[in-house]
Amino acid sequence: MNNFRFCSPTEFVFGRNTVKNTAQLIKKYGGTKVLILYGGRSAVKSGLLAEVEGNLQNEFIEYVKLGGVQPNPVDTLVYEGIELCRKEQVNFILAIGGGSVIDTAKAIAAGTPYAGDFWNFFERTVAINRALPVATILTIPAAGSEGSENTVITKTKGGLKRGTGSPALRPVFSIMDPVLTFTLPANQTAYGITDMMAHVMERYFTQTKEVEVTDRLCEAILLAVIQEAPRVLQEPDNYEARANIMWASTMAHNGICGVGREEDWATHGLEHELSALYGIAHGAGLAVMFPAWMQYVYTSGIDRFVQFAVRVWGIENVGDKKEIAGKGIQALKNFFISMGLPVDFAALGAKAADIDRLIETLKINSGGSLGNFCKLDMNDARAIYEIAAGLRGCN
Ligand code: NZQ
Ligand code: ZN
């Protein structure tokens, strides 16, 4: 096990009717002038935005609003938000929504007190040391941004989708009422489930030895998600199933699943190029890229893939290791298919002819290499895209 530091300071306020605590929590964390940030329609349609506004008004907390965050959020709204926060002297940001809204809130929070261009943080030429406090009311369990220190934004010019992070970006509190997720359509629910599983798997597939506690935590979260996923898809109003899925998304990405080990993140790098180019949902891209990545790298750490097959998918640990590992990968693929997700380029609407473009932006974003479980260069990345496109078989 490697040395580590782990600090997840977010106050999670979980359960039914927890939105009524919003104003009180904002006061607790020093907010006096708030930017309420939200997405396209869902928070308005559900009445959540109005409820939050009422709650703040009752407690005499001043606020301004900015809506219109789109999925795969872009830099233009971040610039708009920074300008608004400076003009209105905002000292607290409340994000109502999912990863896209929360990530935009984090970028605005870091950019407002910074004199330069906020994109420098995403170029990683400047570290984020200071940010306005961010809080969230989560409406879709997926990205885990409600508990993470990360933000992912796309620069409109050039279509570069990039992530950055800092402890300063961890939300001070996150309100998580599973009832708010009842309105999620099946496809968004499934994309979210895929993303949280991917966040666990990016950490599970490691070459670091002897990390049994972290391994078992990862497996427990995956097993719980695999159990609850069909339930939540069949019964979108099932509170308990929604609650378990919601908490899983946070546990998957607040960092606890990565302690003591080297993490991978190659698949996220490969996927971000797809969602940047086609505007598809991040979770849909991951359902295609994760099995493709696994098929390419599994021989670089066969025992880990056998462990995944046996402990997560219940494959019998008898016979050839490659065969057992292959069955685990196939089980994951079948699970994605059972949720109606795409598992190849064709189903995703991606084109093999675009692989050169994907590699071009991946090279810029990754600096030419990615991953740790197996160090990948751009030839490897091309091969994985080709597996996803059905142009070649697995290793
Ligand atoms: O815009 P509205 O109308 O709100 O609709 C949203 C959006 O269309 C809808 N939605 C959200 N809550 C709903 C709802 N619809 C009905 N009922 C509700 N309760 O869902 C759609 C997707 O929302 P979005 O926020 O885009 O989803 P998600 O949470 O999956 O976030 C995806 C973004 O997060 C990034 C992804 O790359 C992508 O840009 N990620 C961020 C990470 C992080 N900050 O740590 C890590 C992840 O790996 C990921 O890369
Ligand atoms: Zn993700």
Q: What is the pLDDT of residues 53-105, one digit of tens each?
A: 999 999 999 999 999 999 999 999 999 999 999 999 999 999 999 999 999 99
State the distance from the centre of ligand 2 to the C-alpha of 291, rounded, in angstroms: 15
Please state, in angstroms and rounded to a whole number, the distance separating the CA atoms of residues 241 and 235: 8
Q: What is the pLDDT of residue 363?
A: 96
Please state, in angstroms and rounded to a whole number, the distance separating the CA atoms of residues 205 and 306: 11
State the distance from the centre of ligand 2 to the C-alpha of 193, rounded, in angstroms: 10
Residues 6+ apart with CB under 8 A from 64: 33, 34, 35, 36, 84, 88, 90
Quote the pTM value.
0.97
Place of tokens 């898809």: 233
**What are the pLDDT digits (tens) for 206-227?**
999 999 999 999 999 999 999 9
Our mutation pick for probing the ligand 1 site, out of 152, 245, 257, counting the most ligand atoms within 8 A of Cβ, is 152
Surrounding residues of ion ligand 2, Cβ less than 5 A: 195
Please state, in angstroms and rounded to a whole number, the distance separating the CA atoms of residues 272 and 307: 28
Calculate mean pLDDT across residues 301-312: 98
Tell me whether residue 358 is exposed, middle or buried, using C-beta atoms within 10 angstroms of its C-beta: 0 to 12, 13 to 18, 19 or more: buried
Residue type, 371: G
- Give the ligand at the shortest distance from the Cα of 169: 1
Helix (H) or strand (E) holding 135: strand 134-138
Calculate mean pLDDT across residues 101-118: 98
- Give the ligand at the shortest distance from the Cα of 198: 2
Q: What is the pLDDT of residue 72?
A: 95
Does residue 365 have its Cβ closer than 6 Å to ligand 1? Answer: no
State the distance from the centre of ligand 2 to the C-alpha of 142, rounded, in angstroms: 7
Helix 186-204 and helix 212-234: axis angle, to 10°? 170
Asked if residue 357 has pLDDT above 70, the reply is yes
Residue type, 57: Q
Which of ligand 1's atoms lies nearest the C-alpha of 69? 1
Our mutation pick for probing the ligand 1 site, out of 77, 103, 203, counting the most ligand atoms within 8 A of Cβ, is 103
Does residue 381 have its Cβ closer than 6 Å to ligand 1? Answer: no
Which pLDDT band, with edges at 50, 70 and 90, does 393 fall under?
confident
Which pLDDT band, with edges at 50, 70 and 90, does 271 fall under?
very high
Our mutation pick for probing the ligand 1 site, out of 10, 19, 42, counting the most ligand atoms within 8 A of Cβ, is 42
Place of tokens 């906020």: 118
State the distance from the centre of ligand 1 to the C-alpha of 36, rounded, in angstroms: 16
Task: Please report the DSSP string for 67-89 in residue order.
Answer: --PPSS-BHHHHHHHHHHHHHHT
State the distance from the centre of ligand 1 to the C-alpha of 228, rounded, in angstroms: 20
Asked if residue 171 has pLDDT above 70, the reply is yes
Does residue 10 have its Cβ closer than 6 Å to ligand 1? Answer: no
State the distance from the centre of ligand 2 to the C-alpha of 145, rounded, in angstroms: 9
Asked if residue 26 has pLDDT above 70, the reply is yes
Q: What is the pLDDT of residue 141?
A: 98
Asked if residue 394 has pLDDT above 90, the reply is no
Asked if residue 255 has pLDDT above 90, the reply is yes
Does residue 388 have its Cβ closer than 6 Å to ligand 1? Answer: no
Q: What is the pLDDT of residue 395?
A: 63
Task: State the sign of the Cα–Cα–Cα–Cα dihedral 235, 189, 266, 131.
Answer: negative
Mean pLDDT of the chain, nearest integer: 97
State the distance from the centre of ligand 2 to the C-alpha of 320, rounded, in angstroms: 32
Does residue 162 have its Cβ closer than 6 Å to ligand 1? Answer: no
Calculate mean pLDDT across residues 266-287: 97
Q: What is the pLDDT of residue 129?
A: 96
Residue type, 68: G
- Give the ligand at the shortest distance from the Cα of 141: 1
Calculate mean pLDDT across residues 303-314: 98
Which pLDDT band, with edges at 50, 70 and 90, does 316 fall under?
very high
Calculate mean pLDDT across residues 40-56: 97
Task: State the sign of the Cα–Cα–Cα–Cα dihedral 213, 214, 218, 221.
Answer: positive
CA distances from 248 to 113, 198, 353 (A): 33, 12, 37
Please state, in angstroms and rounded to a whole number, the distance separating the CA atoms of residues 143 and 174: 13
Calculate mean pLDDT across residues 47-58: 98
3 state DSSP class of 295: helix
Q: What is the pLDDT of residue 392?
A: 86
Please state, in angstroms and rounded to a whole number, the distance separating the CA atoms of residues 136 and 157: 28
